[in-house]
Amino acid sequence: MIIQPLIRNNICVNAHPTGCAVAIRRQIKAVQEWRAKQGTPKDAPHTALIIGCSSGYGLASRIVAAFGFGATTIGVSFEKEGSDSPTQISGTPGWYNNKAFDSEAKTAGLNSLTINGDAFSHATRKQVIEAAQKMGKKIDLVIYSIASAVRVDPDSGELYRSATKPIGEPFTGETIDCMTGKISTISAEPATAEEAANTVKVRGGEDWALWTRQLAAAGVLAEGVKTVAYSYIGPPLTHAIYREGTIGNAKKHLEMTATELNKELKANLNGEAYVSVNKAIVTRSSAIIPIIPLYLSVLFKVMKGQGTHESGLEQMERLFAERLYTGASVPIDENGLIRIDDLEMAPKVQNEVKKRMATITQENFAQIGDFKGYRHDFLATNGFDIEGVDYTADVESVERI
Considering the complex, state which of residue 69 and residue 78 has its C-beta at the smaller distance from ligand NAD.
Answer: 78
**DSSP assignment of 112-169:** EEEEES-TTSHHHHHHHHHHHHHHT--EEEEEE----SEEE-TTT--EEE-----SSS
Q: How far is CA 174 from CA 15, 228, 289, 337, 372, in A?
A: 27, 33, 10, 30, 18
Among residues 367, 398, 356, 278, the alpha carbon closest in space to that of 16 is found at 398
Asked whether position 344 contacts ligand NAD by CB under 6 A, the answer is no
Using CB under 6 A, pick the residue from 67, 69, 101, 120 that binds ligand NAD: 120
Residue choice 43, 118, 174, 244 for contact with ligand NAD (CB under 6 A): 118
Provide CB contacts within 8 A for 197, sequence distance 6+. Answer: none
**147 is a site residue for ligand NAD (CB under 6 A):** yes
- Nearer CB in complex with ligand NAD: 79/140: 79
160 is catalytic: no
Element (H, E) at 29: helix 17-38
Instruction: Give the neighbor-by-neighbor strand order of the sheet with 139-144.
Output: 112-116, 72-77, 47-51, 139-144, 221-231, 272-277, 338-339
CB under 6 A: which stretch of 184-192, 280-288, 345-353, 392-400 binds ligand NAD? 280-288
Q: Are 139 and 225 in contact (CB under 8 A)?
A: yes
Residue of closest CB approach to ligand NAD: 56
Residue from 52, 91, 173, 290 in contact with ligand NAD (CB under 6 A)? 52
The one-character DSSP state at 277 is E
- Are the CB atoms for 254 and 204 separated by under 8 Å? yes
Segment contacting ligand NAD by CB under 6 A, of 8-16, 62-70, 140-148, 211-219: 140-148
With CB under 6 A as the contact rule, which of the stretches 32-40, 47-55, 163-171, 371-379 interacts with ligand NAD?
Answer: 47-55
Selected from 14, 77, 198, 238, the binder of ligand NAD by CB under 6 A is: 77
Give the count of beta carbons closer than 10 Å to the beta carbon of residue 389. 16
Contact string 8-37 vs ligand NAD (x = CB under 6 A): ------------------------------
Helix (H, G, I), strand (E, B) or coil at 392: coil
Q: Can you tell me the distance from the alpha carbon of 59 to that of 37, in angstroms, rounded to the nearest whole number?
A: 22
For residue 96, state whether it binds ligand NAD (rule: CB under 6 A).
no
Closer residue to ligand NAD, CB minimum distance, 49 or 361: 49
Report the length, in residues, of the chain. Answer: 401
The verdict on 198 binding ligand NAD (CB under 6 A) reads no
- Is residue 101 a contact residue for ligand NAD (CB under 6 A)? no
SS3 244: coil
Which residue type sits at 208? Answer: W
To the nearest whole angstrom, how small is the minimum distance from the Cβ of residue 138 to ligand NAD? Answer: 22
| Stretch near ligand NAD under the rule CB under 6 A, chosen from 83-91, 100-108, 273-281, 321-329 | 273-281
Options 56-64, 165-173, 191-199, 345-353: segment touching ligand NAD (CB under 6 A): 56-64
Of 247, 255, 262, whose CA–CA distance to 212 is shortest?
262
Catalytic residue among 57, 242, 274, 325: 242
Residue 381: CB minimum distance to ligand NAD, A: 7
Chain centroid to Cα 37, Å, comes to 25
Site for ligand NAD in 219-248 (CB under 6 A): 230-232
Task: Report, as residue numbers or ranges, the catalytic residues.
Answer: 242
Residue ranges binding ligand NAD (CB under 6 A): 52-58, 76-79, 94, 118-120, 145-148, 230-232, 278, 280-281, 283-286
